[in-house]
Amino acid sequence: MNNDQFNQYDAERLHHRVAEELGITFDELKTWMINDIERVTEGGNEVGHMVVFRESTPPQVLDRVKHKQSQFTAMTGVINHE
């Protein structure tokens, strides 16, 4: 497995965990997410992820999203990369 394949697999596993924490399916996250921004402290410690959803995300999906910060953003806690 080359590095690109490994990184793609790693990112997919991470996004499965992000979707689970937000209360939506992986397919919903993959379809409606514009960006996933890793949040870190000035010291470099991860504190979570900010997920930005498309403005066209269906309301029934957005209604199920946990940890919303605004209509189209949500934040997770630290996601273990096991």
pLDDT of residue 81: 63
pLDDT of residue 11: 82
Strands 68-70 and 33-40 come out as unpaired
Q: What is the pTM of this model?
A: 0.83
Of residues 20, 81, 7, the one with CA closest to residue 51: 20
pLDDT of residue 2: 45
Residue 13 lies in domain: 3-75
Question: Residue 26 carries which side chain, given as an amino acid letter?
Answer: F
> What b/e sequence results for 11-24 when a residue is b if at least 16 CB atoms lie within 10 Å of its CB, and e otherwise?
eeebbebbbebbeb
Q: How far apart are CA 63 and CA 18, in angstroms?
A: 16
Task: Dump pLDDT digits (tens) for 25-72.
Answer: 999 999 999 999 999 889 988 899 999 999 999 999 999 999 999 999
Confidence check: pLDDT of 23 > 90: yes
**Number of folded domains that form the chain:** 1
Residue 81 lies in a domain: no
